[in-house]
Amino acid sequence: MKLVTLLSAALLATAPLAAGDYDAIGKALRQNWPQAATVAVVCDSSHSKGALDAIAGALPGVKLLIIDVKGQQDMGKALSTLNARRPDAVVLVAGDKVAGDGTSAASFLIQRLAAAKVPTVATTEAGVRQGAVLGVGPGTGGKLLANAKVALVAGVSLPAGASQI
């Protein structure tokens, strides 16, 4: 497992491959949790480069903590790193083969992060059903979705007007 910390402004010079996919997440985070200064992403960074660039572009001024995982065997170390670094939120990369929405690794992270009071955000309805606190983006039909039960565990407020799952 490799840990990479980037300032999102440094990645703005790269061409995002999926820019629109994460713009709604950036907006939702700024509006609902304006105190979020550090956001983590757990993914196979070599296979999710376009998504990482898009997330960085959607979160200008936010410190982006990238935790590179190559398989299930890396999830325990990833969780240890997250607990030590205490990000304000974690964004799931929908198509990531290791920790994307719907994977057992994402469920592992979501459950343990909520208990540690770190909310998870997804771009798909499946991610919210899996336990992410918020979901918004192309995989939600553009609607802002929320998981009230997990938000309560994570100790965060839900945005007004979010559809609860």
pLDDT in tens, 45-58: 999 999 999 999 99
10 pLDDT more than 90:
no
CATH of the domain at 67: 3.40.50.2300
pLDDT in tens, 56-94: 999 999 999 999 999 999 999 999 999 999 999 999 998
- Rounded distance, CA 78 to CA 83, Å? 9
- Rounded distance, CA 81 to CA 87, Å? 10
pLDDT in tens, 107-146: 999 999 999 999 999 999 999 999 999 999 888 988 999 9
Question: Greater confidence, 55 or 11?
Answer: 55
- For residue 2, name the pLDDT band (cuts at 50, 70, 90): low
Smallest CA-to-CA distance from 103 within 137, 134, 57, 69 is with 69
Residue 34, domain extent = 2-164
For residue 19, the model assigns a pLDDT of: 55
- For residue 14, name the pLDDT band (cuts at 50, 70, 90): very low
Question: Greater confidence, 151 or 7?
Answer: 151
The b/e string for 112-141 (b: 16+ C-beta within 10 A; e otherwise) is ebbeeebbbbbbbbbbbebbbbbbbbebbe
Q: How many domains does the chain have?
A: 1
Determine the residue type at 77.
Answer: K
For residue 98, the model assigns a pLDDT of: 95
User: What is the rounded average pLDDT for all residues in the chain?
Assistant: 88
